[in-house]
A = this chain, B = another copy of it.
Amino acid sequence: MEKAFHYYMPVKILFDYGVSQKMASYIAGENVLIISDPFLYQNGVAQRIGESLIGKTVGYFSDIEPNPSCESVDAAAAAARALKADCVIGLGGGSSMDVAKIVACLTRDEGSIYDYYSGGTKTFSERKTMLICVPTTAGTGSEVTNVGVFTNKKAGIKMPLVTDRFWADYAVIDPELTYSLPPAVTASTGMDAFCHAIEAYWNKESQPMCDMLAMGAMQLILRFIKRAYDDPNDLEARGAMIKASMIAGVAFSQTRTTGIHALSFPLTTEYHASHGTACSITLPAFIRLCREGAAEKLQALSAYLGYADAGALADAVEALMESMGMPTRLGQLGVREENLEHITKVGLGAAIIQLTPAVMNEQTVYALLKGIL
């Protein structure tokens, strides 16, 4: 018997070199707010997109920080309301796109993010403001998910919000926006995308369409990530990587992630590793751990990717990470043995960890971490 599954991914995807300069015809309405981080505003990327929107009134909100706070969301929503925005564009990595998702809702729905999230009691009405996501890294896949992750500074927690209102109208995938990514960011964001794909693939909630997409995305990443790392202007590699990141995003948008992402949370917040580094540092160990629980699937994947077995795949992934100067041992992030118990506990607090195809408890997670200390 085949497993039951659902699939729903209503985002319109546009992929092309330079397509982010050609969005005007897709935008209904007059007033457009472009949400980005300060860097994308200062280097002119946001304005170049704004200037391409001939005939539109364009505003900018460019104060988005990594791990965006609820206060930033409310400030961006105020800007959108002041502009009477008909369309919100999230330009950047996951942070800017996540903020754009909720701001597109808050443009017409009243109140603060706190009213809808983390104890809030309001629910979003049908979203009338258009939402366009434009990634500038090849990693998060946020442009094709219905999830936004926001940080409640008061309570000291980072929490996801999931709603069908967050599916963008358009995901605009333009490899040209990634040419300026530094090699270290190319590496860490690209390996984050690889984690999305493999976590969708071995997920207890895995399903056939996502398996197919995840396998294809992993093949693209293994083929092209080092080329994009070595030569930031390798157009084919840049195109392949941002495409693979989006496709991996489609895959995990249906399944969620697993232990890799669960354990990345404490590594990000407490050791200041980038999200992609915090994920991929446990990737080889998780491949080895899941060899039992997902034996058949990992064998099929390894063969598809050109490796004899999952052990060889894990070795290859680890060597690839080392070749791009990425840490592969927790000690390199400053983690010490006495910290492992706490990291284990925080990781086990994330429900997604139980979607891993392996027993996940204090002993097994501690042992996994100890093995890569």
Contact = CB atoms under 8 A, between A and B. Distances in A.
Contact of A16 (B4, B17, B208, B216): B4
A333 B240 CA distance: 45
Interface residues of A, number: 35
A15 interface: yes
A12 interface: yes
A2 interface: yes
Contact of A216 (B7, B175, B211, B235): B211
Given A12-B8, A208-B243, A2 B213 contact: no
A239 B203 CA distance: 20
Interface string A1-26: 11011111111111111010000000
Nearest to A238: B2
Given A213-B213, A216-B212, A15 B9 contact: no
Contacts of A350: none
Copies per complex of this chain: 2
A220 to B, nearest CB: 8
A198 interface: no
A89 to B, nearest CB: 18
A236 interface: yes
Contacts of A200: none
Contacts of A11: 8
Contact of A10 (B10, B175, B208, B247): B10
A215 interface: yes
A207 B211 CA distance: 17
Contacts of A209: 13, 213, 216, 247, 250
Contacts of A250: 209
A208 B215 CA distance: 12
A26 to B, nearest CB: 11
Interface string A169-208: 0000001000000000000000000000000000000011
A13 B4 contact: no
A10 B236 CA distance: 29
Contacts of A10: 8-10
| List of 8 A-B pairs having minimum Cβ-Cβ separation, nearest first | A2-B239, A212-B216, A4-B16, A10-B10, A7-B13, A8-B12, A212-B212, A5-B15
Interface of A: 1-2, 4-17, 19, 175, 207-209, 211-213, 215-216, 220, 235-236, 239-240, 243, 247, 250, 304
Given A1-B235, A215-B216, 15 more contacts: A1-B236, A4-B16, A5-B13, A5-B16, A6-B12, A6-B14, A7-B13, A7-B15, A8-B10, A13-B209, A209-B213, A212-B216, A212-B247, A213-B213, A304-B304
